[in-house]
Amino acid sequence: MNRSITSHSIVNGRGTAYWLETDRCGLRHFTPEDRGWLQDLYADVEVTRYLGGTKTPAEVDEMFETRILRYYVDHPGLGIWLTLDKATGERLGFHLLNHIQGESIVQVGYSLMPSAWGRGIATEVAEAVLRYGFVDLGLPTIAGMTSMGNVASQKVLLKIGLERRGERAFPHPAYAAEGPLAWFERDRTAWLTAASRASLAPPRTP
């Protein structure tokens, strides 16, 4: 929660520069050259264990056109972005701030390649995305949802400052088969108050 975060190049979102940076990572928009990488991510059994299973290249292509490229145009400022290692330029995964399909609710989310797991990357970048949503976009509420068994993802949502609010199910085919999902959300004012208290807190004594 204390890592430095910059979102100085937000207006530059479509360029090659990162539009949002944390200490270790940068976010940029997907381009057609990233399609094959996304196909690889969705072909990975471990990654998709709680994402409804692997997707075929054709299914990823459909998602890439509608949920990623067209969504950037229809909803400026929101979307699914590539998460890169600033030191190496390696694609680590993606983070998102977008509408739950079929709903007006905005969610934060993430998925990483297994080689990037266990280093706090999901939390580091998701916290920056959440701050961007509340501070830069002024969103009143941001939600998060994940499979009941996806404990790692639930921990990330709690660590970035969302609160568990029971379970929710959605009728859209992307979620319907999963049944009830663990549901998290936080209002802007409550999150900003908690975040500013956390950054003002004195360092822990050993």
> Which residue from 155, 154, 184, 152 is spatially nearest to 167, judged by alpha carbons?
184
Q: Find the binder of ligand COA among 15, 118, 140, 179 (CB under 6 A).
A: 118
Residue 86 CA to residue 205 CA, distance in Å, equals 32
One of 52, 69, 117, 187 touching ligand COA (CB under 6 A):
117
Q: Nearer Cβ to ligand COA, position 127 or 134?
A: 127
Instruction: Give the x-and-dash track for 12-51 against ligand COA (CB under 6 A).
Output: -----------------------------------x--xx
Q: Out of 68, 84, 130, 156, name the contact with ligand COA by CB under 6 A.
A: 156
- 31 near 39, Cβ under 8 Å? no
What token pair was written down for 34?
């990233």
CB of 8 to ligand COA, least distance (A): 24
Q: Is 129 a residue that touches ligand COA (CB under 6 A)?
A: no
Residue placing its CB nearer to ligand COA in the complex, 110 or 132: 110
- Which of 111, 142, 185, 191 binds ligand COA (CB under 6 A)? It is 111
| Contact status: 170 vs ligand COA (CB under 6 A) | no
Q: Does 83 bind ligand COA (CB under 6 A)?
A: no
**Residue that is written with structure tokens 């709690």 in the block:** 158
Tokens of 37: 């990488």
> Which of 139/143 has CB closer to ligand COA?
143
Residue 148 binds ligand COA, judged by CB under 6 A:
no
Tell me whether residue 179 is exposed, middle or buried, using C-beta atoms within 10 angstroms of its C-beta: 0 to 12, 13 to 18, 19 or more.
exposed
> Could you tell me how many residues of this chain bind ligand COA (CB under 6 A)?
22
Residue type, 187: D
**Toward ligand COA, which CB reaches closer, 53 or 140?**
53
Task: Please state the length of the chain.
Answer: 206
- State how far the Cα of 121 lies from the Cα of 110, in Å rounded to an integer: 10
From the centroid of its chain, how far is CA 33?
21
User: Which residue in 80, 193, 189, 197 sits closest to 140, CA to CA?
Assistant: 189
Residues of this chain that bind ligand COA (CB under 6 A): 47, 50-51, 93, 109-112, 117-123, 146, 150-153, 155-156
